[in-house]
Structure 1
């Protein structure tokens, strides 16, 4: 789909045909993801409820053109323009996973009047959001592995050199374990899933698909957008005119549950669902996709 600024977004459709849909959803994939990602709800439920969902390669990912001016705001506006070009109507739902939830937070900030509802699954947090108490944020940041701390620090304070930094093999610092898919995952299911995906080549295929426009335009720009200096603090957002749901595992090795609880506690209008004994890969939780759909669409 060609956007008004000339860029193209690649997209993939799921669920029932648009002309039969009662509910229309735009899905924002996570770090290393693609337009092929979705809630993985059952086809039977999508048919029963009349759900149409569109996933898209976020700017710089997969087959979508890069956007040198990418920001949370531009991510939200990309979703809005895609929805309009596809004819999803005056209001639509937005769902995000992991780092892709920056687009959902931005949609709640910049286009709340277009939203029928929003859902976030294991949304990544920015350690520098002003709404976090300094001691809480510092404690969570300090638990990250050394290389990840440096990658986060450079993403926030010196985003212009992140690409250079990440490519300097001579630096006496370990690289980002998130980029390398070597982060310690405390949840047993998460660890088993990653081992299986690595063994059958899925992780490598996903990386190759995601980085077609270059790792700088996909992974590294994602990091600078997510962990850079935001124009707003999600914890200061006013209550939107639509329901908002957030799912978080209490054994997430990538998103500190303590920070997620603080976000949910500050925003009384967020319906917070914490999943015990659960890690970051929520799409692997049996039946969760169906639960999310039924909950969001009410």
Structure 2
């Protein structure tokens, strides 16, 4: 597994914001918004392509994940303030932003709230606004059912991610491997079997559950309720590029098309036969290449 250093700073409210770094330490800064349930350690999957491109991957843990303090009652709209605090601490006036899977919504929130600070924005296999019926309908049946239950019966989600579950998964994150590989396309299975990719993802599950999973529980609630983000009114000052695998069985390619149609100026690249994991693992250098700008 790539070597990582865990850093932290504190916001004006005293909360600890933790982040991991990969790639070139003195390279061009790229902030990475991790998936669900996960942590900033997920960016280790892109360590080698970031090195090749001379990029410094800065991957913060969202509140309630890994080393970051929880923020009860937070909304998606609050995340840009945390990123601004982190960027100020690191003395980054502008930075590129990558949102992968469940980190996609948080990256979009930053395009809305921090347009002047983003030099480029890429969404990779981004989760769409599943509180909208037409977006939820594109999910596979098990995911659609679980998200619908999380919306209608929020207490059930608290039970699933509460009780002994976080304790068990924090100690044995490898238990998730069987669930992760269910019904995946061939290219996803190949990508996950390579090197330490499964171990990296297992470590992020441990991070997500380490504090009793408050971040995961809050995210599940937030994903399934109105994000209160005015998609059509976002005036990004940087290009927005979307990548999606046509064979993605976790977040369907229809979500990438939804963002393309609702984010002004966004462009979409769809790769045939690629899934949710093979897309960033096998095409990481191409995806990160879209974040290279002249400023």
Structure 1 residues 6 and 181: alpha-carbon distance in aligned structure 2, compared to 1, 3 A threshold: farther
Pair 1:297–1:201, CA change in 2 (3 A): closer
TM-score normalized by structure 1? 0.79
Q: Which residue of 2 aligns with 1:226?
A: 223
For residue 89 of structure 2, what is the aligned residue in structure 1?
Answer: 85
User: Which position in structure 1 is the counterpart of 2:170?
Assistant: none
Question: 2:1 aligned with 1:5, yes or no?
Answer: no
Maintained 8 Å contact 1:26/1:92: yes
Q: Residues of 1 paired with 2:47 and 2:200: CA distance?
A: 17
Correspondence 1:237 to 2:233: yes
Any residues of structure 2 matched to 1:43-122 within 5 Å, and which? 44-47=51-54, 51-89=55-93, 91-122=94-125
Specify whether residues 108 and 193 from structure 1 end up closer, same or farther in structure 2 by C-alpha distance, changes over 3 A only. Answer: same
| Alpha-carbon distance in 2 for matches of 1:139, 1:37 | 28
Is the alpha carbon distance of 1:58 and 1:198 closer, same or farther for their aligned partners in structure 2, counting shifts above 3 Å?
A: same
Distance across 2 between alignment mates of 1:43 and 1:25: 9
Alignment of 1:1-298 (within 5 A): 1-18=9-26, 21=27, 23-38=28-43, 39-42=46-49, 44-47=51-54, 51-89=55-93, 91-129=94-132, 136-137=134-135, 139-141=137-139, 143-145=140-142, 148-159=143-154, 162-164=157-159, 181-182=179-180, 184-194=182-192, 204-215=202-213, 217-234=214-231, 236-281=232-277, 282-285=279-282, 288-298=283-293
Q: Following the alignment from structure 2 to structure 1, what is the Cα–Cα distance between the partners of residues 36 and 56?
A: 23
The answer to whether the Cα contact below 8 Å between 1:247 and 1:273 also exists between their aligned partners in 2 is yes
Q: Residue 160 and residue 232 in structure 1: after superposition, are their counterparts in 2 closer, same or farther (change >3 A)?
A: farther
- TM-score with structure 2 setting the length: 0.80
Shift of 1:233: 4.4
**Counterpart contact for 1:198–1:204, Cα < 8 Å:** no
- Please, which runs of 5 or more residues in structure 2 have no aligned partner? 1-8, 165-175
CA distance in 2, matches of 1:45, 1:218: 32
Aligned residues: 271
Q: Is the 8 A contact 1:137 1:259 kept in 2?
A: yes
- Return the alpha-carbon distance in structure 1 between the equivalents of residues 137 and 262 of structure 2: 19
Match of 1:127, SS state, is coil
In 2: Cα distance, 1:94 partner to 1:228 partner: 24
Matched position secondary structure for 2:242: strand
For structure 1, the 5+ residue unaligned runs are 170-177
Q: Report the 3-state secondary structure (helix = DSSP H, G, I; strand = E; otherwise coil) of the residue aligned with 1:26.
A: strand
Question: Higher Cα Rg: structure 1 or 2?
Answer: 1
Distance between the aligned counterparts of 1:297 and 1:251, measured in 2?
Answer: 27
* Cα distance, 1:273–1:168 mapped onto 2, change above 3 Å: same
- Taking a change above 3 Å as real, the CA distance of residues 125 and 200 of structure 1, as seen in their structure-2 partners, is closer
RMSD of aligned Cα (Å): 2.9
